[in-house]
A and B are shown apart, each in its own frame.
Chain A
Amino acid sequence: MTLPGYDALCAAHDTALKALHEDGIVIFAFDGCTFLNQHAVAFLGGLVRYLQSRGCTVQFKLSSLETAVRNNLRKNGFLRDLGFDHRAGGNNTIPFRADPTQNERAFLAYLSDDWLGRGWVDVSDALKDAICCAVLEIYANAFEHGHSTVGVFSCGQFYPIKQEIALAFVDFGIGIPQSVSVVPEAAALSDSLRIAWALERGNTSKKGNRGVGLDILRSFVQVNNGKMDIVSHSGFVRLSRSGSYSPPRNHRFPGTIFNITLKVDEKRYAFKSEITTESIF
C-alpha cells in the first residue's frame, strides 16, 4: 500500500516553513501535479493561511497549474478563497472551507448541503444524519484539542467510479501525539501508537467523563465499510473494516490530518443499531 501523498504534503510544509524563516516569502508551484485530492487541497489551503498568519508573503505560480488542476481548484473554491481567482462552482468537488473559529451549526450546514446534499449520495435521510453525526466528532475534536491558531480546514471530493465520498480535515495545532503525551500510559508509545491509543474508548487527556468522540467515529467507519487515515507528527494510522495499519513515514507534520472515505451505497452500511432503548442504561 502506498500513502496517498501525505509525506509529500509534509515535505512541502517543511520547505515552506524553511522559506518563511529564511526569506519571508513562499511561492507555491504545481509543476508536474496532475490532480490534487481533498486532503491536499485542505492541507495547502491551511498552510497558506498558517504562513500568512506568521507574516509570510504567499504567491502562487498559476502558470504551473495544469488545466485540469486549475479547473478543480476553481470548482472547489480554493483559488477564490485565497484571493487568486474569482470563478468557482460545480461537479464532483466539495468546497474548500476554512473555519477560523468553531461553529458547529455552520459546519453542519456545509456537511448537509455541500457534502451530502448534492444529489450524488443515494442514501436515506437517516443515514445522512448518521454520517453527519460521525463527521462532526472530527470537527469538534480538532477544535477542542488541536489548539490550532488558524482554525480547521476542510475539503471534499466525490469519486463517481468508486462511488465514494471523501472529506479531509487539517489543523495546524499541536497534534495528537503531543496531546496525549501528558498521559503516562501513552507517553511511552510511538507516534502511531499514540494515535491508536487516542482512538480507544475512554482514552482521553482531558479531565472528566470524556473520551468517546473518536471511538464513535472509529466504530462508525469500521462498521460501515469506510476508511479513515490519521496523520499527526510522524504517526500514521489507517482504519478500515479489516483493522488498522500503521506504515512508517519519512516526514513529520506537527498538526493533524483526518481523511475519511465513505461508500455512497446504503447496502454497504450495517449501522442499524441493535442497541435497544431499554439496554442503554
Chain B
Amino acid sequence: MNDTITILVHDLFGENLLTPEEGERLLAVVHEGLSSGRPVILDFAGVRIVTSAFLNAAIGRLYGSFSHDDIRQLLSIENLSDIGRFTLKRVVENSKAYYESPEYRGAVDAASGTALEA
C-alpha cells in the first residue's frame, strides 16, 4: 500500500519554525512515514520563517537513517519559500556529506569540540 502521507507543517508548528527541538518533533513524524515505505509530502504552506537549526534536526538527520535514494524517491517538499529552499539545499548537502562519508564524519567528529557552529 503506497498511500501518500501529507504533513501540513503549519498545522503542527505554526508559521515560524525556529528551534531544533521543534525540528526533532517533525523528524519523528517524517521518520515514521518513511519507515512505512510510503511517500511523504512535507507541505510548508503558511510557513514564513524557517531556520537551519530546525531543518537540520527535521530533515538533515534523516540521512542518518535512510539512504539518499530512499529519501529522494519518497520525500517531497511543497510550498517552501525561496529562503527555505535555499537553506534546505545547504542542510541536505551538508548532511549527505556528513552521513554518507564515514571519512568525513570521522574527521568532523574527531575535530569537534564544544563551541561554534560555522
Contact = CB atoms under 8 A, between A and B. Distances in A.
A174 to B, nearest CB: 6
Nearest to B55: A212
Given A209-B99, A215-B90, A204 B51 contact: no
Contacts of A176: 116
A280 B118 contact: no
Contacts of A69: none
A204 B77 contact: no
B109 A104 contact: no
Contacts of B85: 273, 275-277, 280
Interface in B68-112: 68, 71-72, 75-78, 80-95, 97-99, 108-109, 111-112
A10 to B, nearest CB: 20
Contacts of B114: 182, 205-206
Interface in A124-149: 125-126, 129-130, 132-134, 136-137, 140-141, 144-147
Interface residues of B, number: 50
A205 B115 contact: yes
Interface stretch (B1-9, B24-32, B56-64): B56-64
A185 B88 CA distance: 26
A71 interface: no
A108 interface: yes
B81 A202 contact: no
The winner among A146, A182, A199 for most chain B CB atoms within 10 A is A182
A211 B77 CA distance: 22
Nearest to A223: B86
> What interface size band does chain A fall in?
35 or more
Contact of B94 (A104, A140, A146, A212): A212
Contacts of B78: 277
A209 B51 contact: no
Contacts of A214: 117-118
Contacts of B75: 281
B83 A271 contact: yes
Interface string A251-281: 0000000000000000000011101110111
B83 A130 contact: yes
A179 B83 contact: no
A210 B113 CA distance: 12
B89 to A, nearest CB: 5
Contacts of B108: 202, 204, 207-208, 211
B90 A216 contact: yes
Given A201-B94, A209-B63, A281-B75, A134 B115 contact: no
Given A140-B53, A204-B108, A207-B109, A105 B83 contact: no
A240 interface: no
Given A198-B116, A200-B118, A271-B83, A140 B51 contact: yes
B87 to A, nearest CB: 6
B80 A277 contact: yes
Given A129-B49, A213-B117, A205 B112 contact: yes
Contact of B86 (A147, A178, A209, A273): A273
Closest 10 CB pairs of A and B: A182-B113, A179-B115, A179-B116, A145-B116, A130-B83, A273-B82, A198-B118, A207-B112, A209-B98, A203-B118
23 contacts: A108-B16, A126-B81, A129-B48, A129-B49, A129-B81, A133-B49, A133-B51, A141-B117, A144-B116, A145-B117, A202-B97, A204-B108, A205-B114, A208-B109, A213-B51, A213-B52, A220-B83, A271-B83, A273-B85, A273-B86, A277-B76, A280-B85, A281-B68
